[in-house]
Amino acid sequence: MSAMPKPVLQQPETQVVPKPELEKRSRRRFSTEFKLRIIAKADACQYGELGELLRSEGLYRGQLQQWRKELADGGEAALSKTQPGPRSALTPDQRRIQQLEKDISRLKQRLEITQDCVDLQKKALSMLDRPHTGKAE
């Protein structure tokens, strides 16, 4: 009895092609003019119209509140230089000094360990050297 070869099945294409609409979007950046225009439109809105404005522009209420706060605190210049994330409390020089101090502390600790190892080696050498020289301390 001879076995017949099995037919080769046609397998579907296994290549994965991502959909462009599902790809991660980059962070949106808004110009100062756009922010001022939206704030002006929002201020002109009647009761109940603000939500429609925000939806049509693809914005969130928190963005509008942040822009209004920046405009009140620093004027138009504050609107133009917003960056994501919290601002650092330290200047670049202060961060560099902090990093150098951390490095100094780490190196001091390594130096102490190295000195302890050298002292231990000296003691071990002196202990091993005692029987050969016959000296008693």
In the chain, what are the domain boundaries? 29-83, 90-137
Distances (CA, A) of 30 to 39, 83, 98: 12, 11, 35
Among 15, 62, 59, 6, smallest CA distance to 37 is for: 59
pLDDT computed for residue 4 by the predictor: 67
Please give the share of the chain, as a percent, with pLDDT higher than 70.
82
- In this structure, the number of other CB atoms found within 10 A of the CB of residue 82 comes to 13
pLDDT computed for residue 24 by the predictor: 73
DSSP state of 128: H
Q: Which residues contact 7 (CB under 8 A, 6 or more apart)?
A: none
Among 84, 61, 82, 55, smallest CA distance to 71 is for: 82
Average the pLDDT over 36-52 and give the result: 89
Instruction: Please enumerate, as own/partner, the contacts of 65-69 that have beta carbons within 8 Å and a separation of 24 or more.
Output: 67/35, 67/38, 67/39, 68/39
DSSP state of 21: G
Q: In terms of DSSP H, where are the helices of 12-58? A: 32-44, 50-57
pLDDT computed for residue 127 by the predictor: 87
Confidence band, pLDDT 50/70/90 cuts, at residue 29: confident
